[in-house]
Amino acid sequence: MTDFSQMYRPSEEHEAFRAAVREVCDAKVAPNAAEADELAQFPKASFEALRAADFHAPHVPEEYDGVGADALATVIVIEEIARACMASSLIPAVNKLATLCWINEGSADLKKTYLPRIASGESMASYCLSEPEAGSDVASMTTRAVRDGDEFVLNGVKRWITNAGVSDYYTVFAVTDPDKRTKGISAFLVEKADDGISFGAPEKKLGIKGSPTCEVYFDNVRIPESRMIGAEGTGFVTAMKTLDHTRITIAAQAIGVAQGALDYALGYVKERQQFGRPISEFQGLQFMIADMGMKLEAARQLTYAAAAKSERKDADLGYFGAAAKCFASDVAMEITTDAVQLLGGYGYTKDYPVERMMRDAKITQIYEGTNQVQRIVMARALLNR
């Protein structure tokens, strides 16, 4: 018999959470989305709205003054924010990405010092793994952290860092023993206020323009040993385990932006008249809409199942996290593109939000591991059964 207790199902509390997030996003996040995209500026008003409602970092445990949202509730928060504004959804998503390392591997003192600041919204955090020559190939990183007494001296460059310059804290991965390859990588918590840290100019991107992406430079940055996350040499494992959990948040972004595009397209086709009737009555468009809805719901169910596995820390989380991220992001790109098609020439203009959603959706196929990498992860998991 099937043990249904091992399956997921959003509870009434989860759905109430969704309703609360959607209310905030419809009123105070969605109205800022177009301007944040047009000006390529961090949406401060949206951040303050999310902070006031405790949706900026819902994953932080209650013992550190956080909401203590479970993995599925966090997915729902990110999904609903992305439906309104993809750039704003990176606020809770990246806060989780950076701080999950602290929660899982950080010392008691580190967690007590820094997590309440994230929970209150006083500060944000970013994740520094990628480098100019080390993207998917993490083991090729060259950023170094050299021990000097009870400190480490950090030198190097990190690239593609989300919310760089806005965040006060950075989870940074650096080589502490170059002879040990992945076993010679360690993780550190670096403060924006530390001497020697600086930021490059924001990247000029296709989408998510309201979320700054910059290089981060470390020039003889001194970090006390107390800010090492986990034991020396465990950074690579920490990074990979974290990504197993947080790839689900990228899937959540993908289904959110896809839902936003579908919602807008549905409203449009019901109103748009051609040949004397609404275009929603044409079978060719109905088939497109049916496929969009079907694929979106399949992506959502896979993402929620992966979130349940994340909460339980199931052994097959790596496979399900990769599958959810890969499938949902591919679906999001398809649905947002079809939404532009349904709006015709109007969809191709900035007067309508679907062109922004299409541009924003693209990044979900790339960051936190390209979909090609996700397929490698899934294939290896299947072949090793």
| pLDDT tens digits, one per residue of 302-337 | 999 999 999 999 999 999 999 999 999 999 999 999
Distance between CA atoms of 311 and 138, rounded to whole angstroms? 26
Q: What is the pLDDT of residues 251-305, one digit of tens each?
A: 999 999 999 999 999 999 999 999 999 999 999 999 999 999 999 999 999 999 9
Looking at CATH, the fold of the domain delimited by 125-235 is given as Butyryl-CoA Dehydrogenase, subunit A; domain 2 (2.40.110)
Place of tokens 């992001």: 329
SS3 (DSSP) at 301: helix
Q: Which band of pLDDT confidence, cut at 50, 70 and 90, is reported for residue 126?
A: very high
Q: What is the pLDDT of residues 163-176, one digit of tens each?
A: 999 999 999 999 99
State the architecture of 4-120 in CATH terms. Answer: Orthogonal Bundle (1.10)
pLDDT (0 to 100) of residue 7: 54
Q: What is the pLDDT of residues 337-361, one digit of tens each?
A: 999 999 999 999 999 999 999 999 9
In this model, does residue 101 exceed pLDDT 50? yes
Q: What is the pLDDT of residues 137-161, one digit of tens each?
A: 998 999 999 999 999 999 999 999 9
Distance between CA atoms of 210 and 44, rounded to whole angstroms? 10
Q: Verify whether residue 368 is a known catalytic residue.
A: yes
Of 80, 131, 215, 368, the active-site residue reads 368
In the predicted model, what is the mean pLDDT of residues 105-127? 98
- The DSSP output letter for 342 is H
CA torsion, points 328, 330, 336, 338, in degrees to nearest 10? -120
Q: Report the candidate in 50, 52, 54 with the shortest Cα–Cα distance to residue 89.
A: 50
Q: What is the pLDDT of residues 195-253, one digit of tens each?
A: 999 999 999 999 999 999 999 999 999 999 999 999 999 999 999 999 999 999 999 99
pLDDT (0 to 100) of residue 8: 67
Looking at CATH, the fold of the domain delimited by 236-383 is given as Butyryl-CoA Dehydrogenase, subunit A; domain 3 (1.20.140)
For the chain, what are the domain ranges?
4-120, 125-235, 236-383
In this model, does residue 5 exceed pLDDT 70? no
Distance between CA atoms of 130 and 31, rounded to whole angstroms? 32
Domains 125-235 and 236-383 share a fold: no
- Residue 362, token pair as written in the block: 């693209």
State how far Cα 382 lies from the chain centre. 26
209 CB-near residues (< 8 Å, 6+ apart): 36, 37, 38, 40, 87
Q: Which band of pLDDT confidence, cut at 50, 70 and 90, is reported for residue 34?
A: very high
In this model, does residue 9 exceed pLDDT 80? no
Q: What is the pLDDT of residues 58-85, one digit of tens each?
A: 999 999 999 999 999 999 999 999 999 9
- Residue 29, token pair as written in the block: 């996040």
- Residue 334, token pair as written in the block: 């398809």
